[in-house]
Amino acid sequence: MKIIHGIRRYSYAFGLSLFLLAFGALFAFLISSDRKITLSECEKLGFPILEISTDKLKEIKSKEKYVKATFTLKNSTEYEEISGKCKLRGHGNSTWKTTFTQKKPYLLKLESPASLLGMKGARKWILMANAADRSMLRNYYAEYLTHNVWNNMRWNPESRYVTLFINGKYRGLYGITEKVEVVENRVEFDSEGFLAEIDSHSGRPYSFSTNSRLNFNIRSPKSTLENYKKWAAKIESLEKLLYSDDWNEVDGYKKYFDMDSFVDWYLLAEFSKNYDANFYNSIFMNYDYSTETLYMGPAWDHDIGFGNTSKSTTTPESYGSLLSNNAWIQMFNFFDPLKNSSAAKDYEGFLINQGSWYNRMFGDDEFVALVKKRWVETRGQLKDSFEWLREQGEFLDEAAELNDSVWHIIGSANWPRAPGYRSRKTYKSEVDFLVDWCEKRFEWFDMIFME
């Protein structure tokens, strides 16, 4: 077992990318200061309004240090107004650190557990900025799919849209989201269990790497070093079983892996072609000692999925290609099980089954059969969801355009730069792009899994 140490590579392209991102962020910041949005203007839109006032009007500048505050959540037609004490700090990795936008995500910690907008009570909530997603729908849509289409994971978060004001200043349209953690009403166990995450950023309180060079950390619950070591050893033993010579026997990996959750998580990750989900970042799984089973999920972080990536042609070592459509294949020489088929060259191809554990599992005919069977079972519901997605875009349109009048993300060079981003000047055009991508991806999946 070894602790992870980050490795940084720099190149001219990387430096140029950072310069352009910084310049774009500065420009966006300067022009955003000219647009003042009032509370009464937002009340007319009909979205719940979350007002947060920090102690002594302090700015939120850190992911590590909380700032004391009070909050009021109001303007909902379905739920009563709620207010109280809270704390606030920054949240996220790329979305917090990088300079591509001044619109930042936050972690909201209430003084005591509370139900917000119909979601079950808890203390910690994520305020998702969705600044990397011009449609502001991708995370929300992925959540919808986990609850209505691929719903075999034990628990998945929900979100509600809110208009956020901090210290009287409009911050935009946000998604208030259930945090992935081991607590009541979220990831729960009858006795002992833990939540693990594959996270390329590492640096968590307890991080370790497996023999397949996956960077894991134990995310929840907080515990002793002894327990962390025991839980890490459990992950390593399960991975060893997956890669063993008798991995496909009766007592092989399928005895300890919950296949239903692994299949559904895969279909969501592959359909969305979520680059973070290629066992790179924000990959959650949970182990329950009472059932001696590893469950895949919850699903998380889909803002650079569903076609929201650049098609950079730069070299694998450069920053830009990390998000190109074939970068993972270039960098790690993954194989494509359909590489000799013309189908593999059609709509954007595979991603998730070419990486790590799923690469191994796709060598198991029984697992492949389960994936195909589940696709047949759920394809109708998925196809119906495209109309739901378009309706959500219509519902958000006015609030999203107001958000963009401040942050100027639509049509800008802000990361990530999906194909045709400069030509899409309205929020509706971004929604149309998203739905069109999903429809084409659906047709390609049908061609592959309905054979």
Question: What are the domain boundaries of the chain?
Answer: 37-178
> Which pLDDT does position 349 carry in this prediction?
59
pLDDT at 5 over 50: no
C-beta neighbour count of 170 within 10 angstroms: 21
% of the chain at pLDDT higher than 90: 67
Confidence of residue 348 (pLDDT cuts 50, 70, 90): low
pLDDT at 169 over 50: yes
pLDDT at 342 over 60: no
Region 300-319: mean pLDDT is 66
pLDDT, tens digit, 9 for 90 and up, residues 358-416: 989 988 999 999 999 999 999 999 999 999 999 999 999 999 999 999 999 999 988 88
Region 320-324: mean pLDDT is 32
Least confident of 21-30, 286-295, 378-387: 21-30
pLDDT at 105 over 70: yes
% of the chain at pLDDT higher than 70: 80
- Higher per-residue confidence, 333 vs 341: 341
| Residue 337 CB partners (closer than 8 Å, separation 6+) | 350, 353, 362
Confidence of residue 313 (pLDDT cuts 50, 70, 90): very low
Confidence of residue 131 (pLDDT cuts 50, 70, 90): very high
Task: Give the count of alpha carbons within 13 A of 367, CB side only.
Answer: 27
CA distances from 253 to 144, 206, 264, 286 (A): 30, 25, 17, 15
Q: What is the distance between the terminal CA atoms of the chain, rounded to a whole angstrom?
A: 43
Report the length, in residues, of the chain.
Answer: 451
User: How far, in whole angstroms, is CA 250 from its chain's centroid?
Assistant: 34
Mean pLDDT, the chain, rounded, equals 84
pLDDT at 309 over 70: yes
C-beta neighbour count of 28 within 10 angstroms: 22
Confidence of residue 352 (pLDDT cuts 50, 70, 90): low
**Which of 20-29, 150-159, 358-367 has the highest mean predicted lDDT (pLDDT)?**
150-159
> Which pLDDT does position 304 carry in this prediction?
92
Task: Give the count of alpha carbons within 13 A of 24, CB side only.
Answer: 22
> Which pLDDT does position 40 carry in this prediction?
94
| Residue 320 CB partners (closer than 8 Å, separation 6+) | 13, 17, 310, 312, 314
Question: Which residues make beta-bridge pairs with 158?
Answer: none
Confidence of residue 276 (pLDDT cuts 50, 70, 90): confident
Least confident of 44-58, 81-95, 191-205: 191-205
Among 406, 328, 318, 389, residue whose Cα is nearest residue 131: 406
Report helix angle 427-449 to 365-407, nearest 10.
170
Q: Is 227 exposed, middle or buried (0-12, 13-18, 19+ CB in 10 A)?
A: middle
Q: Token pair 């089973």 is at which residue?
A: 293
> Which pLDDT does position 199 carry in this prediction?
87
Among 366, 372, 350, residue whose Cα is nearest residue 271: 350
Beta 49-54 vs 159-166: how paired, if at all? parallel
Region 64-89: mean pLDDT is 96
pLDDT at 206 over 90: no
Region 325-333: mean pLDDT is 28
> Which pLDDT does position 319 carry in this prediction?
30
